């Protein structure tokens, strides 16, 4: 019994950290409608600033805490609200996701630029090595402080929200922001206060965990992923339920450590317990109501007809042939990598650009495609390429079925949770990548080999061109018009008799198949692939750069693929500049977050290759987009 109580105490300690972090997420989401993916990055930056003050500048601990939590955090929260988030209320999930993920990448890059990566940084606990015995378990003073801080945060938020004028306004904004404004509350002040409090809570969590994690930027940034589960238990609205979910998660984690038998299949689930908890919380959410029409008044890139698509594809291949002949052989792998990731970006064009479904799990299908290609007939056959597309389809159904119930940020979080689960349960399985890397060859068809760098470059260019023509044909067809209508107004689609669920299932399957093909080319390019190549966290920059390039067009997929391929090149050839590159990408993503068509759309607009809404909709119109009217009654 004493051992059991000891694990409960440790679980409450862990849950207290999750509760502080999750409360900041819930507070900002309920009052602004923005799910802040950068919450962990803000805490990470606060941890580094605290280390700089305390260790490098020898500032006393109490003063360092005051400077970080009560000076830096409010100023940073004010800046984020004023510069980035103001005006995002009512924006699409894709827009808010890109802005906050871009902020995350930018903060990681800024930290790596200011504090050299790879250097060991140690931070003494707040209370040194002081310990006490509690129910037979040694507990540090810092761990007791975690619990005390969580209790203090819960009480303070309760008083703020129910006993102060600004708190009442914050709760009212959740229910009806327009009516709140008519009654004298200032939405801007409410939003600013929420971002200040969210930054302070993130900073508190960052300072608390910094001594345990030795200031590792990536680990500190994404520790908050566990807090997502607690926030979902509270449905991103209820702080009491959020705190309860955080404590439950912490207790379950520690009981699993103590009681799950070693070496069993169940013990393999131990690292994924927070994600399983997260996944279960998402599945327990009620089905989302269908969204009504959105405002449509922006220019969209014109969709080329079949002849234009074929002509552009042929021109692209001719250009690729010239480049392959003139470019140095040492540059071909990098250019091939850009084309490979452009193929992967095409899967997001179909899913996110055409149908509006946000997915943060595409690399799972890429990894499955690479494994299938390497496992069939020696890893270089045409049948292996078919298997790469085929294996992704049934797995995509596992994502699509629960995704049919959700939309918006919940859908994004569900797909991300699935990707994290795949890391633990699929890629770490000894029958997949768990036993080591998988060898993947380059395609051989009817005696023709594409093993050379030039041949494989041209094969990849052909695959991208062919898939691009197919994706554009899909967009011009009845399914494409249905996807556009579903993106604009699922409720209108249902009213017209369209099967929204079936359409979602189809588009997830098509997107996964394209990603699986991309995985086969990833394997062919690298020769050997493993779990680390398809980690779930890489889905965030993948989606980010897809939107920056232009997730609504195939040319945007090409730009996004080139940008994504640039990251490892810079990291390997100029590691000292990697932080600045990430900072630049984050800043670019934030600045383009409100540009729905990305860099490709900006280029098309300058070239005059855009289509504006018809009739009087030169200004934003409050009607469903023109595609809805043209969609057939049945799919």
Tokens 């862990």 belong to residue: 14
Can you tell me the mean pLDDT for 246-262? 79
Residue ending a domain, among 224, 259, 285, is 224
Task: Name residues whose C-beta falls within 8 Å of residue 441's C-beta, 6 or more positions apart in sequence.
Answer: 374, 378, 379, 380, 451, 524, 527
Query: With 50 as the cut, is the pLDDT of residue 527 above it?
Result: yes
Query: With 60 as the cut, is the pLDDT of residue 255 above it?
Result: yes
Can you tell me the mean pLDDT for 488-505? 77
- Report which of residues 295 and 605 the model is more confident about: 605
CATH number where 514 lies:
1.10.3470
| CA dist., res. 246 & res. 242, Å (int) | 6
Query: With 90 as the cut, is the pLDDT of residue 460 above it?
Result: yes
Taking the C-alpha atoms of 281, 283, 284 and 285 in order, what is their torsion angle to the nearest 10 degrees?
Answer: 100
| Domain co-membership, 308 together with 217 | no
Q: Are strands 137-140 and 528-529 parallel, antiparallel or unpaired?
A: unpaired
Query: With 50 as the cut, is the pLDDT of residue 296 above it?
Result: no
The pLDDT score that the predictor gives to residue 70 is 94
Query: With 70 as the cut, is the pLDDT of residue 572 above it?
Result: no
| Domain co-membership, 325 together with 188 | no
The per-residue DSSP string of 285-353 comes to SPPPPPP----B-S-EEPPP-HHHHHHHHHHHHHHHHHHHHHS-TTTHHHHHHHHHHHHHHHHHIIIII
Vertex 516, ends 305 and 268: CA angle to 5°? 150
The pLDDT score that the predictor gives to residue 580 is 65
- Report which of residues 131 and 631 the model is more confident about: 131
| Domain co-membership, 314 together with 410 | yes
Encoded tokens for 615? 């009739």
Q: Is residue 339 part of a domain?
A: yes
Range of the domain at 29: 12-224
Buried b (16+ CB within 10 A) or exposed e, 379-405: bbbeebbbbbbebbbebbeebbebbbb
pLDDT of 159-200, one tens digit each?
887 888 777 777 666 555 555 555 666 777 888 888 999 999
Q: Is residue 23 part of a domain?
A: yes
| Domain co-membership, 219 together with 325 | no
Encoded tokens for 224? 């908050």
pLDDT band at 377 (very low <50, low <70, confident <90, very high): confident
Q: Is residue 536 part of a domain?
A: yes
Query: With 70 as the cut, is the pLDDT of residue 121 above it?
Result: yes
pLDDT band at 370 (very low <50, low <70, confident <90, very high): very high
Please list the alpha-helical segments (H only) found in 138-186: 141-163, 165-175, 177-182
Can you tell me the mean pLDDT for 310-331? 92
Tokens 């190549």 belong to residue: 533
Query: With 70 as the cut, is the pLDDT of residue 297 above it?
Result: no
| Domain co-membership, 356 together with 502 | yes
| CA dist., res. 525 & res. 241, Å (int) | 48
The pLDDT score that the predictor gives to residue 250 is 85
Most confident by average pLDDT, 96-110, 257-271, 301-315, 480-494: 301-315
| Domain co-membership, 379 together with 487 | yes
DSSP classification of residue 621: B
Angle between helices 500-526 and 332-348 (to 10 degrees): 170
| Domain co-membership, 30 together with 124 | yes
The answer to whether the CB of 358 falls within 8 A of the CB of 410 is no
Number of domains within the chain: 2
pLDDT of 588-624, one tens digit each?
777 666 676 788 878 877 776 665 554 443 333 333 3
pLDDT band at 130 (very low <50, low <70, confident <90, very high): confident
| CA dist., res. 251 & res. 106, Å (int) | 34
| Domain co-membership, 414 together with 522 | yes
Q: Is residue 288 part of a domain?
A: no
| Domain co-membership, 175 together with 304 | no
pLDDT band at 635 (very low <50, low <70, confident <90, very high): very low
Query: With 90 as the cut, is the pLDDT of residue 628 above it?
Result: no
Tell me the C-alpha to C-alpha distance, in Å, between residue 622 and each of 293, 336, 392: 8, 44, 38
Query: With 60 as the cut, is the pLDDT of residue 264 above it?
Result: no
Query: With 80 as the cut, is the pLDDT of residue 150 above it?
Result: yes
Count Cα neighbours of 521 within 13 Å in the Cβ-side half-sphere.
27
| Domain co-membership, 384 together with 487 | yes
Averaged pLDDT score across all residues of the chain: 81
Can you tell me the mean pLDDT for 75-98? 81
Q: Is residue 243 part of a domain?
A: no
User: Which residues are registered as beta bridge partners of 149?
Assistant: none
Can you tell me the mean pLDDT for 411-425? 86
| Domain co-membership, 463 together with 324 | yes
138 three-state secondary structure: strand
- Report which of residues 321 and 255 the model is more confident about: 321
- Report which of residues 73 and 240 the model is more confident about: 73
Tell me the C-alpha to C-alpha distance, in Å, between residue 247 and each of 12, 40, 114, 230: 6, 19, 35, 8
Q: Is residue 287 part of a domain?
A: no
| Domain co-membership, 483 together with 369 | yes
The answer to whether the CB of 565 falls within 8 A of the CB of 604 is no
The pLDDT score that the predictor gives to residue 47 is 92
Residue ending a domain, among 202, 224, 246, is 224
Tell me the C-alpha to C-alpha distance, in Å, between residue 51 and each of 64, 150, 197, 219: 9, 22, 22, 16
Q: Is residue 283 part of a domain?
A: no
Vertex 360, ends 357 and 361: CA angle to 5°? 110
| CA dist., res. 622 & res. 635, Å (int) | 26
User: Which residues are registered as beta bridge partners of 182?
Assistant: none
DSSP classification of residue 613: P
The pLDDT score that the predictor gives to residue 630 is 40
pTM: 0.85
Q: Is residue 179 part of a domain?
A: yes
């Amino acid at each position: 019994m004493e051992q059991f109580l000891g694990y409960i105490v440790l679980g409450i300690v862990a849950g207290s950290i999750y509760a502080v972090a999750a409360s900041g997420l819930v507070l900002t989401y309920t009052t602004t409608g923005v799910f802040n993916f950068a919450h962990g990055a803000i805490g990470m930056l606060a941890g580094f600033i605290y280390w700089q003050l305390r260790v490098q500048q020898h500032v006393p601990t109490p003063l360092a805490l005051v400077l970080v939590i009560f000076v830096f955090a409010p100023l940073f929260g004010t800046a984020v609200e004023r510069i980035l988030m103001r005006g995002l209320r009512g924006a699409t999930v894709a827009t808010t996701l890109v802005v906050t993920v871009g902020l995350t990448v930018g903060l990681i890059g800024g930290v790596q630029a200011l504090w050299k990566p790879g250097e060991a940084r140690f931070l003494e606990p707040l209370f040194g090595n002081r310990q006490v015995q509690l129910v037979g378990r040694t507990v540090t003073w810092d761990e007791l402080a975690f619990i005390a801080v969580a209790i203090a945060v819960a009480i303070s938020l309760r008083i703020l929200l129910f006993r102060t004028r600004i708190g009442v306004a914050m709760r009212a904004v959740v229910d009806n922001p327009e009516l709140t404004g008519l009654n004298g509350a200032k939405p801007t002040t409410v939003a600013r206060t929420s971002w200040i409090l969210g930054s302070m809570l993130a900073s508190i969590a960052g300072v608390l965990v910094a001594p345990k994690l030795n200031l590792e930027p990536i680990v500190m940034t994404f520790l908050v992923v566990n807090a997502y589960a607690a926030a979902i238990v509270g449905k991103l609205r209820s702080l009491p339920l959020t705190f309860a979910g955080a404590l439950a998660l912490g207790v379950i984690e520690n009981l699993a450590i103590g009681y799950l038998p070693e070496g069993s299949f169940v013990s393999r689930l131990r690292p994924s317990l927070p994600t399983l908890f997260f996944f279960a919380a998402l599945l327990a959410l009620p089905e989302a109501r269908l969204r009504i029409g959105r405002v449509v008044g922006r220019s969209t890139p014109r969709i080329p007809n079949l002849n234009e698509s074929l002509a552009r594809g042929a021109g692209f291949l001719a250009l690729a042939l010239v480049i392959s002949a003139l470019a140095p052989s040492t540059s071909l792998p990098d250019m091939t990598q850009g084309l490979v990731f452009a193929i992967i970006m095409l899967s997001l064009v179909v899913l996110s650009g055409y149908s509006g479904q946000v997915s943060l799990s595409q690399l799972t299908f890429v990894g499955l495609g690479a494994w299938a290609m390497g496992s069939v007939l020696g890893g270089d056959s045409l049948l292996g390429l078919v298997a790469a597309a085929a294996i992704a389809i049934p797995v995509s159904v596992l994502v699509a079925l629960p995704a049919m119930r959700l939309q918006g940020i919940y859908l994004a979080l569900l797909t991300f949770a699935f990707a994290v689960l795949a890391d633990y349960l699929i890629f770490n399985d000894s029958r997949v990548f768990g036993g080591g890397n998988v060898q993947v060859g380059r395609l051989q068809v009817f005696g023709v080999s594409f093993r050379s760098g030039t041949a494989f470059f041209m094969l990849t260019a052909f695959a991208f061109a062919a898939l691009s023509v197919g994706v554009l044909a899909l967009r011009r067809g009845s399914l494409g018009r249905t996807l556009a209508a579903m993106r604009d107004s699922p409720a209108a689609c249902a009213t017209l008799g369209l099967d929204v669920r079936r359409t979602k299932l189809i588009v997830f399957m098509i997107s996964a198949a394209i990603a699986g093909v991309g995985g086969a080319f990833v394997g062919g390019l690298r020769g050997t692939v493993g779990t680390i190549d398809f980690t779930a966290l890489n889905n965030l920059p993948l989606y980010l750069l897809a939107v920056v390039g232009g997730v609504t067009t195939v040319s945007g997929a090409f730009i996004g693929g080139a940008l994504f391929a640039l990251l490892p090149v810079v990291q390997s050839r100029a590691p000292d500049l990697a932080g600045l590159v990430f900072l630049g990408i984050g800043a670019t993503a934030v600045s383009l977050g409100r540009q729905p068509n990305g860099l490709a759309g900006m280029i098309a607009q300058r070239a005059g290759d855009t289509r504006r809404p018809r009739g009087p909709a030169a200004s934003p119109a409050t009607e469903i987009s023109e595609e809805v009217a043209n969609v057939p009654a049945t799919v």
